[in-house]
């Protein structure tokens, strides 16, 4: 029996610390690796518009709901529901979130491992003089291997474990504060280089000129999944982080700043990638390798490319790390508070279980590429199940919970810091969580899963 129930909870140390940690969670491979490739596969501009609509109508209310639940309950993703709605099945929403954390980190760590490999390739100047097809082959050869991708994936898991073990203030907050702003600077430089390549206009048109004839129901479901994934919503990451936010801080300000930062970085990643994709004749629907093939191409075309490549991949790995710790933290906070396992041991057990799943994700590009379930390889299956199913479903229940169970009075109380902040937007928020967001998520689900055909 541990005494964790009696020790005061760890909290974030400052307002900037909260934003850095939450934005650190949101900004990650989802923005730089996933957004461009999913947008590329789904036709570009029209996907972007639907994605932005989902961020505003669904993402913002879900994020506000998660923070409110967590801060009010002062518990982990599962414990929060148990505390706020005792004796009800609502805690199952948290259970689903913890399950989603396992799936997400299993494939996330695989891709994060790729960034480590690309750091090492940058160090050895491996991209120099290679053309598009050689870089493509280089990527393909690497991910279809066995030991190399596994080695990097496990190393990345070790970094994640190391930070999560250190706890909130000394671990998560310390690292995010410094490194995130640096990443933004590098992306801006990449945007400039990409935009000045010959033929850049075509890439911009692809990203910003919507062609709604390309918008399939799959693309709409994909946009919803991407909105959830990118903002770290739907599985209790932000419930958990919300529980570390002091009662004196303004939640709505945090929501706006985190969502805006996340969205701007995703769009900037798109601006860095697509002009180059078209300039180099890369297929925008290339898939998960898109950034790993396109960016080395850009680095080669710029002065100081060796240096920029190295710094970029280091920062991308760090961005992945500040996200992966927030995924692992969901599981660890649950293990510690509900199962009374020590933080150290909880972190190890969770990471070990996730790594086992992770091995299958990595091998699904190589020796296990023939193995498919519902027509998807293991990596894609984990991603699809978590991002397009579990996260939106979790988000649906989270807004319903705030709208109909926690209710207007308690929600207003939490959001307004016990009535000390003015919350003129509150009726709009309530309307969104009670009706609009649940309706929109349900509709996208029904069509996206093909339960009904347009």
Residue 26 interacting with ligand TRP (CB under 6 A): yes
- The neighbouring-strand residues paired with 376 are 373
Distances (CA, A) of 103 to 42, 321, 356, 361, 390: 23, 16, 11, 10, 10
- Which CB atom, from 108 or from 206, has the smaller least distance to ligand TRP? 108
* SS3 assignment, position 373: strand
User: 18, 31, 106, 149: which one contacts ligand TRP (CB under 6 A)?
Assistant: 31
> What is the Rg, in whole angstroms, of the alpha carbon atoms belonging to the chain?
21
Binding segment (CB under 6 A) for ligand TRP, from list 25-33, 127-135, 429-437, 444-452: 25-33
DSSP string for 300-344: HTSTTHHHHHHHHHHHHHHHHHHHHHHHHHHHHHHHHHHS---HH
Measured at CB, which residue is nearest to ligand TRP? 30
As measured in angstroms, the least distance from the Cβ of 404 to ligand TRP is 23
Q: Say how many residues touch ligand TRP, by CB under 6 A.
A: 16
Residue 385 interacting with ligand TRP (CB under 6 A): no
| Window 123-162: residues binding ligand TRP (CB under 6 A) | none
As measured in angstroms, the least distance from the Cβ of 4 to ligand TRP is 23
Tell me the C-alpha distance between 10 and 30, whole Å.
27
Binding mask 203-232 for ligand TRP (x = CB under 6 A): --------------------------xx-x
User: 323, 347, 362, 388: which one contacts ligand TRP (CB under 6 A)?
Assistant: 323
Q: Which residues contact 332 (CB under 8 A, 6 or more apart)?
A: 164, 343, 346, 347, 350
Tell me the C-alpha distance between 249 and 275, whole Å.
41
- Which CB atom, from 30 or from 171, has the smaller least distance to ligand TRP? 30
Q: Are 391 and 235 in contact (CB under 8 A)?
A: yes
357's torsion region: left (phi>0), alpha (psi -120 to 50) or beta? alpha
The total number of residues written for the chain in this structure: 454
User: 17, 28, 171, 358: which one contacts ligand TRP (CB under 6 A)?
Assistant: 28
- Which CB atom, from 183 or from 302, has the smaller least distance to ligand TRP? 183
Residue 30 interacting with ligand TRP (CB under 6 A): yes
* SS3 assignment, position 371: coil
Residue 29 interacting with ligand TRP (CB under 6 A): yes
- Stated as kind and residue range, the H or E segment containing 295 is helix 290-300
Tell me the C-alpha distance between 224 and 444, whole Å.
8
Tell me the C-alpha distance between 16 and 23, whole Å.
10
Residue 364 interacting with ligand TRP (CB under 6 A): no
As measured in angstroms, the least distance from the Cβ of 235 to ligand TRP is 5
- Residue 50 has, within 13 A of its CA and on its CB side, a CA count of 28
The DSSP code for 234 is: S
- Which CB atom, from 104 or from 398, has the smaller least distance to ligand TRP? 104
User: 106, 136, 176, 237: which one contacts ligand TRP (CB under 6 A)?
Assistant: 237
- Which CB atom, from 29 or from 267, has the smaller least distance to ligand TRP? 29
As measured in angstroms, the least distance from the Cβ of 30 to ligand TRP is 2
> Which spans of this chain sit near ligand TRP (rule: CB under 6 A)?
25-26, 28-31, 104, 229-230, 232, 235, 237, 323, 326-327, 391
């Amino acid at each position: 029996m541990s005494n964790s129930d009696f020790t005061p909870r760890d909290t974030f140390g400052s307002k900037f610390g909260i934003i850095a940690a939450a934005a650190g969670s949101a900004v990650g491979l989802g923005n730089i690796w996933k957004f461009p490739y999913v947008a590329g596969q789904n036709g570009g501009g029209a996907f972007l518009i639907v994605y932005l609509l989902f961020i505003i109508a669904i993402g913002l209310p879900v994020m506000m709901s998660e923070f409110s639940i967590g801060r009010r309950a002062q518990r982990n993703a599962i414990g929060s529901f148990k505390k706020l709605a005792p004796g009800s099945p609502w805690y199952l929403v948290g259970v689903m979130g913890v399950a989603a954390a396992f799936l997400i980190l299993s494939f996330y760590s695989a891709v994060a491992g790729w960034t480590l490999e690309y750091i090492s390739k940058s160090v050895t100047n491996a991209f120099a003089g290679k053309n598009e097809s050689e870089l493509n082959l280089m990527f393909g050869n690497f991910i279809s291997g066995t030991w190399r991708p596994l080695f990097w994936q496990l190393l990345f898991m070790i970094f994640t474990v190391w930070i999560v073990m250190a706890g909130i203030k000394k671990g998560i907050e310390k690292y995010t504060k410094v490194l995130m702003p640096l990443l933004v600077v590098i992306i801006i430089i990449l945007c400039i280089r990409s935009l000045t390549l010959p033929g850049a206009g075509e890439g911009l048109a692809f990203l910003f000129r919507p062609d709604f004839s390309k918008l399939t129901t799959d693309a709409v479901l994909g946009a919803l999944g991407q909105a959830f994934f990118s903002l770290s919503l739907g599985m209790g990451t932000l419930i958990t982080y919300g529980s570390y936010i002091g009662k004196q801080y303004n939640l709505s300000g945090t929501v706006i700043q985190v969502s805006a930062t996340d969205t701007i970085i995703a769009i900037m990643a798109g601006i860095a990638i697509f002009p180059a994709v078209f300039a180099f004749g890369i297929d925008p629907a290339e898939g998960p390798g898109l950034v790993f093939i396109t960016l080395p191409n850009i680095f080669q075309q710029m002065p100081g490319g060796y240096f920029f490549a190295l710094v970029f991949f280091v920062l991308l790995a760090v961005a992945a790390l500040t996200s992966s710790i927030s995924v692992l933290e969901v599981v660890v906070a649950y293990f510690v508070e509900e199962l009374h396992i020590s933080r150290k041991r909880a972190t190890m057990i969770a990471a070990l279980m996730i790594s086992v799943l992770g091995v299958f994700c990595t091998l699904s590009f190589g020796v296990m590429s023939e193995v498919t379930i519902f027509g998807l390889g293991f990596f894609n299956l984990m991603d699809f199940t978590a991002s397009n199913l579990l996260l939106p479903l979790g988000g649906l229940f989270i807004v319903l919970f705030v709208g109909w169970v926690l209710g207007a009075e308690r929600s207003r109380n939490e959001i307004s810091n016990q009535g000390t902040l003015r919350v003129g937007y509150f009726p709009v928020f309530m309307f969104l969580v009670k009706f609009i967001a649940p309706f929109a998520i349900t509709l996208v689900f029904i069509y996206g899963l093909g339960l009904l055909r347009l």
